[in-house]
Structure 1
Amino acid sequence: MKAWRPRVRRLLAVSLTCMALMGLSLAQTASVPDLHPLTLAPNGLWWDPSEQQLYLTDDVGNRLVVWRDGALTGRSLTLPPAPASGAGLGQLAREPGGRWWVTRFGFGKDGSVLTISPDGAPLALSGLSPQRRRIAVQVVDAGRVLIGWFVKDIAGGVSLLTLGKDGQATEADVVEGLVKPAGVVLAGDHLLVADQGTGRLLSFPWRPQTSGRPQDASAGRVVARWDPDAGIDLMVADSRGTLYIGARAGFLDAVSSTGEVRRLVSGLQPLRGVALDEAGRRLMVVELGRPTGHGPALRVLPLD
C-alpha cells in the first residue's frame, strides 16, 4: 500500500516545478485553470445560467460571440458599427427580459453605451457624453444600468443610465471623485466599485430611487486594497456576496463580504473580464495576449 506514495510525491513535485517554470501559482483552487486559446480580441464576459453558455465581446469583429462546452459555437450578435477609434468594447450585461448592454470605451472621443434588443436589433444610445471612457456596466432593472466611466486625468465616477424613447438616454452621476472605476457590482443595498486608479474596492450605500447630489469617493468604505500598479479590473459577485476580481498583474482574487482577500491564482497574463458559473462552481476569465507568451485566451478555473 505504501509503495505508490513516493511515486505520487515525485509526480506532484514535477507538476509543481512545471507550474513554477510557467510562473503559475495556485492558492485554494482545485486545479490549474484550463487554457482555451481564442482567435478574437475578447474583453467582457457574461455567463447565462439558463442557456448554460458564455457570451464574450470581440473587438476584432465588433460583436458578441458565444462559447459553450469548451469552444466557440459560431453564433454571434451584431453590434452598431464601430467608430474610427475602434470597437473598444468593455463589459456586457443582460437584463432578465433579454436586452443586452455593452460599453464602448471610446478613447476620449467615442465613449458610448450599446444595446441589443431581445429580437437582436443593435442600437447605439444617444444623449451621452462621448468624452467619457466607459468600462463597467451593471443592470439595475429594466431599462436602467450603472456605468463606470472616467475622463483621463480629469474625473471618474459611476452614473445611473436610464433608457428613454428612440434610443435616447439620460445619465445621472451617483458617485464622483473616482479615478478609473473599472468594476461595478450591486450587492444587496451596497454599490461596490473597483477603482483601478487607486487600487481600492469601495462600498457605497445604494438607494436606487434617491435623487440629489452624487456621493463622493471619499465617503466610500474601503473594503480591500491592492497596489494601484496591479490594475484591478472587471469583477463579478456570487449570491453570497463574494466578489471575484482579476487584474492586469495576472492574478485572480476572491473578496469576501467582510473584506477578506484570498488569492485564487497568479502568474497569468493580464486579465480582464470575469464570469461566474455558480451552479457549476467555476470561474471564467479573459487572459489577454502577450508577445512573449500566448495569444488571447479564456481561462476556466474550478472552485472548491
Structure 2
Amino acid sequence: MVSGLGDTGVSIEGCTVNVCMRSCISDYSVSLQAVVTSTITNSHPNFPIDIDGWAIPSNIQLADPAFNRPQRVDLLIGASLFYGLLCDGQIDLGDGLPILQKTRLGWIVAGGGDGTMQTAENVSDDNNEQQQCQRMGLASVVQCMSKQMDKLSCQEKSQTTLAETNAGLQQTQRNCEELQQQLHDRDVEWTQRQQELEHLQRSKLEEAYDKMQEVQLLAKERFLELESQLQAKYDEKRQALQAYHYEMAHHLRHKQDQLNAAEQQVLQLQTRIRDQEALEQVKELGKELQSLRTSTEMKERDGGRSI
C-alpha cells in the first residue's frame, strides 16, 4: 500500500514497474521502482505563467524549458531520490520570483512568490468550475471508498467470506475507474474549452493587430497628405519669393537705367555749361580786343592831329 493525502491508500500489488530514468542533457541515469496510476495529479502549473520579465540566463539548460505552461505530471519522484539529484548552484531571479536550482537533470525552477501568484480575479471562471468538478469527483471517490471500507469492516466483523470481500473490492475498483474515466472526460472537455478560449483570444488579438495596422496605415496616409500639402505650400512660397526677387531685380535695373540716364543728362548739362562759359569768355575777350582796337585807333588819330 502507498499512503497519500488524507491517510488514503492505493494498492500497489501488480501495479509496479521498473523504470530507468535518464537525463536529456547529460549522461545521468538511475533505475527505480514506480507505481502505475491513471493520473498522478492535476496539470502543473495550474495556469500559464508569464515569464517575459524573468531574467533567466541564456547559457543554462533548463530541465523543462516549458515549465511555465500547464502540463501533465508523468513521474512523481520520492524524497529518497530527490535530494540525490540536487547539485551546488542557485540563481536568484529577483524579489518575489522563484530561484533556479541546479540538478543532475538540468536547472529547475523552485519556490515562488508574488511574481507567480495568481489572484482570484485573474483565475478564469472555467478553471474554477473545472477545479470544483474535480474536487467533487475526488470527494465522490473518497466517499465511495469510505462506504466500501465501512462495508468491508462490517463484513469482517460479521465474518463474511473472502470471496464476498474480493467482490466488494472489485466493485469498488470498477467504481473508481468509472469516476476516473469521468474525470478524464471532464478534463478533456475543459482542455478543449480552454483551447477554444485561447483560439478566441488569439483571434481577438489578431483582429486588434489588424485594426492597429489599419489605423497606422491611415495615419501614414494622412501624414503623407500633410507632407504633400506642406511641400506644395513651400513650393508656392518659393515661387512667390523668386517672382518677388525677379520683380525687385527688374525694378532695380529700371532705376539704375534711370540713374544712368540722369547722370548722362548731368554730364551733358555740365558740358553745355562749360561750353557756354567758354563762349562767354570768348565774347568778353572779343569785346576787350575791340575796345583795345578802338582805343588804339583813337590814340593814333589824336597823334596825327598833333603833328
TM band (smaller chain): under 0.3
Q: Which has the higher strand share?
A: 1
Larger Rg: 2
Higher normalized contact order (CA 8 Å, seq sep 6+, divided by chain length): 1
For normalisation by structure 1, the TM-score amounts to: 0.21
Under a length normalisation based on structure 2, what TM-score does the superposition of the two structures give?
A: 0.21
